[in-house]
Amino acid sequence: MNHSRPPRSHTIYTIAIIGFIYTLHLVIPMYSNSSFLSLFADGQTLGLIYMAGAAMTALCFILAPSIIRRFGNYNTAITLVCLQIALFYGLTVSSSSIVLIWLFILQTAVISFIGLTLDIFLEVYTDGDHIGATRGLYSATLNASWVIAPLLGSLLINGEDNYRHTYIAALAMLFPLLYLIHKNFPRFRDPNYNHISTGQLIRLISSNPNWKKLFIANIILQIFYAWMVVYSPIYLHTTIGFGWEEIGIILTIMLLPFPLIQYHLGKLADERYGEKEIMAIGFAIAGIATIALSLINLPSVLIWSLALFTTRIGAAAVEVMIETYFFKTVSPKDSAILGSFRLTRPISYFIAPLITVLGLIFTTNANLFIIVGIITLFGLYPALTIKDTR
For residue range 313-323, what is the model confidence (pLDDT) as tens digits?
999 999 989 98
Q: Residue 334: is its pLDDT beyond 80? A: no
* Residue 1 confidence class, pLDDT cut points 50, 70, 90: very low
pTM of the model: 0.77
Quick check: is 390 in a domain?
Answer: no
What percentage of the chain has pLDDT greater than the value 70?
A: 92
Quick check: is 270 in a domain?
Answer: yes
Quick check: is 2 in a domain?
Answer: no
Q: Residue 2: is its pLDDT beyond 50? A: no
pLDDT mean over 36-57: 83
DSSP SS3 for 103: helix
Quick check: is 256 in a domain?
Answer: yes
Total tally of structural domains belonging to the chain: 1
Quick check: is 148 in a domain?
Answer: yes
| pLDDT tens, residue by residue, 231-254 | 888 899 889 999 888 988 898 899
* Residue 33 confidence class, pLDDT cut points 50, 70, 90: confident
Q: Residue 198: is its pLDDT beyond 70? A: no
How many residues in the chain? 390
Burial state string for 23-47 with b = 16 or more CB within 10 A and e = fewer than 16: bbbbbbbbbbbbbbbbeebeeeebb
Quick check: is 1 in a domain?
Answer: no
The one-character DSSP state at 387 is: P
The boundaries of the domain holding residue 80 are 8-385
* Residue 290 confidence class, pLDDT cut points 50, 70, 90: very high
CATH number of the domain within which 379 lies? 1.20.1250.20
Quick check: is 141 in a domain?
Answer: yes
Quick check: is 253 in a domain?
Answer: yes
CA angle 337, 228, 86 (to 5 degrees): 65
Q: What is the crossing angle of helices 131-157 and 301-328, to 10°?
A: 150
Rg (CA), the chain: 20
pLDDT averaged over the chain?
Answer: 86
Rounding to the nearest 10 degrees, give the CA dihedral for residues 208, 319, 175, 69. Answer: 0
What is the C-alpha separation between 374 and 287, in angstroms, rounded?
6
- Of residues 72 and 37, more confidence is placed in 72
